[in-house]
Structure formats: structure tokens, C-alpha cells
Homo-oligomer: A and B are copies of this chain.
Amino acid sequence: MNRPSNRQANQLRPIKITRHYTKHAEGSVLVEFGDTKVICTVSVESGIPRFLKGSGQGWLTAEYGMLPRSTGERMQRESAKGKQSGRTQEIQRLIGRSLRAALDLKKLGENTLHIDCDVIQADGGTRTASITGATVALVDALSVMKERGLIKSDPFKHFIAAVSVGIYQGEAVLDLDYLEDSKAETDLNVVMTDAGGFIEVQGTAEGAPFQSDELNSMLALAKQGVEQIFTLQKQALADQ
């Protein structure tokens, strides 16, 4: 099997995490998985949504967007269309659930964290890059909250990272880029904690149905991938 990217089946794209990418947000990261580039910011807001009033816990919510020409063909701008696509909503719900899993919301106090993941350039795997980058931005934002006295104890429970895997030409491969993704028979997105647990597993047969053994191969590859990503996240946070 030859991947269009000439990578080994279990080889990630070069991943780069740039912290403090923009100056206003409490957490701001540019994450790159090869040619996929996403700005992930975390904004701290005092107060919680109405449905949590009186619960004594905080909240985290996520939004996702793509610049109209982040893709090969220009997409219509969602604000001009007047609504977000189903795909956008699906992805931002996934990011929100994944990042909430990183936190003990009780320890967050009556604060809301807004995650914004905006794709500057897309080449496959934007949702997994978003989750990976937003986790680092979240750690930075929590540091700011501590400095400002907004939280007393640390709500951070564990690192979260995500990667895609797929079946390409009958074989499981890691971290698909756009060319690979568009030809893969199966696409599986995996979100895990650095303690080895699964947060989300979302697999879709694009072409033929996939079998149990294929699922197992993909999950094994994903585990290898996220372990490398956890290392990269922690290195990025060790700097400065």
C-alpha cells in the first residue's frame, strides 16, 4: 500500500502547536497537523447558561468554523447564509463534549469557557486537530483563571487528544490527510484521555462496511497516535 502522503501506515503528519498565537484570548493556540491549520481560542466568561442556574457548576461550550477559502473550493460563508451547516454543528458538539471531559466542572465555579476552533487551512482532520489544540489552549486559560483568582482548585482532570484513522486500500492508516480521507473506505475519529480511556469513538463506513478486526486495527493505531500527541501537547506546555 502506498499512502498518497508517502507516510507509513502508523505515521502522524508533522504536528506543531504554537501557544499565545493571538493576544486577546485567555488561551490561544495555532495547531497544525501537516497542512491543516486551526486557531483554537479559549475565552473566559463570568456566569453560566440558564439551564445550569443553581447547579454550582461551570460550563464549557465550543464553536467551530472554517474560513470560506480554507478549502480547495471556496465554501459559502455561514454567517452570510444565515445558518451553520449540519456538519459544523456536529463537529462543534463533538469538540464541546470532548473538552468538557477534560474538566471537573464543579471546580470551574460559575464560569463559562467558550472554545472557538477556526480552520485557517484545511487538509483533513480538522476536528481532531481542533480537539488537540483546544486542550492546550484550555490549560493556558486555566492558568490565567488561577492568576486572576477565578478558580481555587484545578478543574483539569486529564489531557484530551484526538486523531483520525481509516481503512485505506484495505489497510488501517493513521491521521488521514484530505487526499487519503476522500478515498478511504472507513473513517474513524477517536478521542482519548492520557489515562488511556476513550471519550469518543465515531466510525463511519464511507464505502464498504467494516469488520470487527478492522475496527480493532484502527483503534490500536489510534492509541499509538494519541500517545505521541500527548507528548507533543506536554512539550508545548513545558516551553516558556
Contacts and interface: CB of A to CB of B under 8 A. Distances in A.
Which secondary structure characterizes the binding site on chain A? mixed
- Copies of this chain in the oligomer: 6
A81 B41 CA distance: 19
Contact of A79 (B39, B45, B79): B79
Contact of A116 (B35, B77, B93, B121): B77
Contact of A205 (B45, B86, B87, B101): B101
Interface in A36-59: 37, 39, 41, 43, 45
Given A25-B69, A69-B24, A89-B90, A215 B202 contact: no
A18 interface: no
Nearest to A206: B97
A198 B193 contact: no
* Chain A contact patch, size range: 35 or more
A212 interface: yes
Contacts of A81: 79
Nearest to A45: B74
Given A41-B68, A79-B84, A201-B202, 7 more contacts: A24-B71, A28-B69, A63-B80, A65-B77, A74-B114, A79-B83, A197-B210
12 contacts: A24-B72, A45-B74, A83-B83, A86-B89, A90-B93, A101-B205, A192-B209, A197-B208, A198-B211, A198-B215, A199-B204, A199-B209
Interface of A: 22-25, 28, 35, 37, 39, 41, 43, 45, 63, 65, 67-72, 74, 77-84, 86-90, 92-93, 97, 101, 114, 116, 118, 120-122, 188, 192-193, 195-205, 208-212, 215, 219
